[in-house]
């Protein structure tokens, strides 16, 4: 490498002959360009570690290559691999302290498709995928396309029942205080959430006590197999015990009315008795399709989500399973309306690492959480803090109204927020531990994935077929043209100009 490159004669390079012999151009005597000598820089050799020091800001080294590829890191122009468990066990500065992921972004930003990409590619790594409630039924196709995938359909005459008060797998060995606590809290939390959601108000102390009492009695009577029907019946008995504890009897009335809807009313046959399905621990993906119930209105949707999520959480809270799982919460905010459901969720997020679970919470905007409680209420601030505390975040394109929320609630730097406004479909800002990345997920999609994850049914090309219009001749076209109105030029015309013209004038 220490030989000089051979020189090409000047006329071969289309250059004028030198006015003075030598490597200098005519500029030396006439002004203008001056030195036409080839720059000769001896090549430099060094190890890649030192070379990286010469160009410190050009490319980020990324998260390494453990875990499935999720997209292209647009800052480094390299493939971006991600697995929350790998990031969790990573003790370097790139690691994280939590396996949960918040996915936030405007409608049609590609959130679901990216999550589907992540989880389906993770199946090969041995992780299981669980969708406790699929409100749009969009995960069904994914589960059906994966060999061994399971779909639990709720409603629509399928006769499937899930018991939200299920205990879940009972573990052998020493009793685990924390687990017992969790089962208890989940059961009472589920009951309170169902009742507060329907009433739209907090339970009074007496009602709370009556409900707890009914649950305890039911657990005793059924040998730890409580059901909503059982609790409903116990509440009936408590309400009848007017002489013994008058106040408790009074407190049993309201909760009993609410549970009646689930036992005898329009939501009966779904959640009030023992479960009719078993959770398949071995399946690569399990999806609970709740789309039929979501079509019945907001309250039915919320109650369904509470019940199906409680059941799924019960059956997967198993440390002995030695299985890592993704739990995908589509419409993650829906059932976070009461204080008890929020506390339950917070507890769940904290404990899930124990169970080898990574929760993926999908939100459209931080403003979704404004549906929780009143302004300044405990509920709302708890909701914001739960979401804000999720350490790993995927931020998709956001609307301009969302900018302040991202800065104040999630502490994102202003340039990132600006960037988040201009992301394209499938692009997102990934925050993993202390580091952030700009990733394009769709750049790595296969055709199979694209077909499977597409949710644009309403805009299918068949619907946009315009061949009829192409065959139209000019005469026909004229008949379709909107009639032109006489131009109003008088003073009346100006005074009666439409609002649009007025605003344009201003
Ligand atoms: N792999 C892919 N490559 C390119 N485009 C895709 C891919 N997967 C999905 N899309 C398209 O991206 C669009 C948005 O997808 P997606 O449903 O994931 O958005 P979303 O953010 O979840 O929307 P919503 O807020 O309605 O839930 C869909 O129109 C879909 O067809
Ligand atoms: Mg979606």
Instruction: Provide mean pLDDT across the span 202-229.
Output: 91
When pLDDT is averaged across residues 16-26 and rounded to a whole number, the result is 62
Identify which ligand lies nearest to the alpha carbon of 423. 1
What tens digit of pLDDT does each residue of 192-201 get?
A: 988 888 887 8
pLDDT of residue 49: 80
Q: What pLDDT, on the 0 to 100 scale, is given for residue 502?
A: 41
Pairwise pLDDT comparison (410 vs 428), residue with the higher score: 428
**497, pLDDT greater than 50:** no
Kindly give, in sequence order, each residue whose CB lies less than 8 Å from that of residue 347, ignoring residues fewer than 6 positions away: 182, 185
**Of the ranges 208-212, 303-307, 493-497, which one carries the lowest mean pLDDT score?**
493-497
pLDDT tens digits along 462-488: 444 445 555 556 666 566 655 555 544
- For the chain, give the mean pLDDT: 82
Q: Are 228 and 272 in contact (CB under 8 A)?
A: yes
Is residue 11 over pLDDT 80?
no
- Residue 443 has what pLDDT? 92
Facing residues of 129 across strands? 285, 326
What distance in angstroms lies between residue 114's CA and the mean position of ligand 1's atoms? 8
Judge if the beta carbon of residue 445 lies within 6 A of ligand 1: yes
Q: Using CB atoms within 10 Å of the CB of residue 75, give its burial: 0 to 12 exposed, 13 to 18 middle, 19+ buried.
A: middle
Q: What is the pLDDT of residue 229?
A: 93
User: What ligand 1 atom has the least distance to the C-alpha of 425?
Assistant: 12
Tell me, using a 6 A CB cutoff, whether residue 109 lines ligand 1.
yes
Number of the ligand 1 atom closest to the C-alpha atom of 454: 31
* d(CA 108, ligand 2 centre) in Å: 7
pLDDT in the model for residue 370:
80
Q: What is the pLDDT of residue 281?
A: 87
Over the range 309-335, which residues count as b (16 or more CB within 10 Å of their CB) and which as e?
bbbbbbbbbbeebeebbbbbbbbbbbb
DSSP code string of 107-125: TTSSHHHHHHHHHHHHHTT
Report d(CA 426, CA 445) in Å as an integer. Answer: 10
* Smallest CA separation from ligand 1 atom 2, residue: 450
pLDDT at 437: 94
Q: What is the DSSP string of 447-502?
A: HHHHHHH---GGG-GGGG--HHHHT--HHHHHHHSPPPPPP--SHHHHHT--HHHH
With 80 as the cut, is the pLDDT of residue 383 above it?
Answer: yes
Quick check: 406 and 398 in contact, CB under 8 A? Answer: yes
For the Cβ of 425 lying below 6 angstroms from any atom of ligand 1, the answer is yes
User: Mean of the pLDDT values across residues 381-401?
Assistant: 90
Task: Inform me whether the pLDDT recorded for 100 exceeds 90.
Answer: yes
Q: Is residue 444 in contact with ligand 1, taking CB distance under 6 Å?
A: no
331 lines ligand 1 (CB under 6 A): no
CATH superfamily assigned to domain 64-150+285-295+317-338+348-450: P-loop containing nucleotide triphosphate hydrolases (3.40.50.300)
Looking at the predicted structure, is the pLDDT value of residue 439 above 80?
A: yes
Continuous segment of H or E residues that includes residue 272: none
Q: What pLDDT, on a 0 to 100 scale, did the predictor assign at position 480? A: 61
Quote the pLDDT of residue 38.
61
Residue 323: per-residue pLDDT: 84
| 257-290 as b/e: b if 16+ CB within 10 A | ebbebbbeeebbbbbbbebebebeeebbbbbbbb
The pLDDT assigned to 129 comes to 95
Of residues 3 and 186, more confidence is placed in 186
Total number of residues shown for the chain: 506
Question: What number is the average pLDDT over the span 10-39?
Answer: 63
Distance CA 421, CA 405 (A): 13
Question: Who's near 180: CB < 8 A, 6+ residues apart?
Answer: none
Report which bound ligand comes closest to the CA of 111: 1
Our answer on whether the CB atom of 71 is closer than 6 Å to any ligand 1 atom is no
Q: Measured in angstroms, how far is the CA atom of residue 362 from the centroid of ligand 2?
A: 8
User: Which ligand number lies closest to the CA of residue 443?
Assistant: 1
- pLDDT tens digits, one per residue of 328-366: 999 877 777 778 788 888 888 888 888 889 999 999 888
pLDDT, tens digit, for every residue of 234-244? 999 988 877 66
Q: Report the alpha-carbon angle 256-259-260, nearest 5.
A: 85
- Quote the CA–CA distance of 390 and 340 in Å, as a whole number: 19
Q: What is the pLDDT of residues 126-173, one digit of tens each?
A: 999 999 999 889 999 999 999 999 999 988 888 888 899 988 776 555
Q: Which two tokens stand for residue 477?
A: 């076209």
The closest-lying atom of ligand 1 relative to the alpha carbon of residue 456 is: 29
pLDDT confidence bin for 498, thresholds 50/70/90: very low
Q: Is the pLDDT of residue 504 over 70?
A: no
Task: Return the residue matching tokens 């708890």.
Answer: 382
Q: What is the mean pLDDT of residues 379-393?
A: 89
- pLDDT score at 293: 85
Q: How confident is the model at residue 499 (pLDDT cuts 50, 70, 90)?
A: very low
> Which residue has its alpha carbon closest to ligand 1 atom 12?
110
Q: Which of 110, 112, 294, 445 to mutate to test the pocket of ligand 1 (most atoms within 8 A of CB)?
A: 110
**Sequence-ordered strand ranges (E) for 335-488:** 357-363, 392-395, 427-432, 435-440
Ligand 1 pocket, 112 CB below 6 A?
A: yes
501 vs 15, higher pLDDT:
15
CB 194 within 8 A of CB 186: no
DSSP H or E run through 262: helix 246-263
Question: 448 CB less than 6 Å from ligand 1?
Answer: no
Nearest CA to ligand 1 atom 22: 112
Nearest residue to 82 (alpha-carbon basis) of 410, 386, 358, 488: 358
* Ligand 1 contact via 288 beta carbon (within 6 Å): no
* pLDDT at res. 36: 57
Q: Is 453 in the pocket of ligand 1 (CB under 6 A)?
A: yes
> Which range, of 38-42, 333-337, 458-462, averages the lowest pLDDT?
458-462
């Amino acid at each position: 490498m220490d030989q000089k490159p051979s020189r090409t004669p000047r006329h071969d390079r289309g250059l004028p002959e030198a006015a003075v012999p030598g490597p200098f151009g005519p500029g030396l005597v006439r002004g203008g360009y001056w030195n036409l000598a080839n720059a000769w820089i001896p090549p430099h050799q060094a190890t890649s570690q030192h070379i990286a020091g010469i160009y410190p800001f050009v490319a980020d080294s990324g998260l390494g290559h453990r875990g499935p590829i999720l997209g292209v890191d647009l800052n480094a122009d390299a493939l971006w691999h991600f697995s929350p468990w790998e990031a969790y066990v990573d003790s370097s500065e790139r690691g994280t302290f939590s396996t949960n992921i918040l996915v936030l972004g405007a409608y049609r930003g590609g959130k679901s498709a990216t999550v589907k990409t992540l989880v389906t590619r993770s199946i090969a790594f041995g992780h299981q995928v669980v969708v406790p409630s699929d409100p749009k039924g969009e995960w069904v196709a994914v589960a059906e396309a994966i060999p061994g995938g399971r779909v639990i359909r709720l409603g629509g005459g399928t006769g499937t029942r899930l018991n939200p008060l299920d205990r879940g797998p009972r573990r052998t060995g020493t009793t685990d205080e924390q687990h017992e606590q969790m089962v208890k809290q989940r059961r009472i939390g589920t009951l309170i959430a169902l009742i507060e959601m329907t009433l739209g108000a907090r339970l009074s102390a007496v009602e709370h006590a009556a409900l707890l009492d009914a649950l305890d009695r039911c657990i005793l009577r059924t040998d730890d197999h409580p059901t909503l029907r059982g609790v409903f019946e116990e509440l009936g008995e408590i309400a009848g015990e007017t002489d013994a504890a008058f106040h408790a009897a009074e407190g049993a009335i309201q909760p009993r009315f609410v549970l009646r809807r689930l036992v005898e009313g329009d939501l009966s046959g779904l959640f009030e008795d023992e479960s009719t399905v078993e959770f398949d621990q071995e399946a690569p993906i399990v999806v609970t399709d709740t789309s039929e119930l979501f079509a019945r209105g907001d309250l039915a949707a919320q109650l369904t989500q509470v019940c199906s999520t409680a059941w799924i959480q019960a059956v997967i809270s198993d440390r002995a399973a030695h299985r890592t799982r993704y739990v995908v919460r589509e419409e993650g905010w829906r059932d976070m309306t009461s204080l008890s459901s929020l506390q339950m969720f917070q507890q769940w997020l904290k404990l899930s690492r124990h169970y080898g679970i990574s929760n993926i919470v999908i939100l459209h905007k931080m403003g979704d959480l404004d549906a929780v409680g009143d302004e300044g209420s405990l509920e709302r601030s708890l909701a914001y803090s739960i979401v804000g505390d999720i350490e790993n975040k995927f931020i998709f394109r956001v609307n301009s109204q969302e900018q302040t929320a991202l800065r104040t609630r999630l502490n994102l730097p202003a340039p990132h927020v600006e960037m988040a406004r201009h992301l394209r479909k499938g692009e997102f800002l990934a925050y993993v531990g202390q580091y952030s990345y700009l990733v394009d997920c769709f750049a790595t999609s296969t055709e199979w994935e694209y077909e499977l994850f597409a949710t644009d049914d309403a805009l299918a090309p068949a619907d946009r077929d315009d061949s009829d219009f192409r065959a139209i001749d000019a005469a026909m076209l004229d008949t379709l043209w909107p009639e032109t109105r006489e131009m109003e030029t008088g003073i009346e015309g100006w005074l009666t100009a439409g609002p649009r013209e007025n605003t344009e004038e201003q």
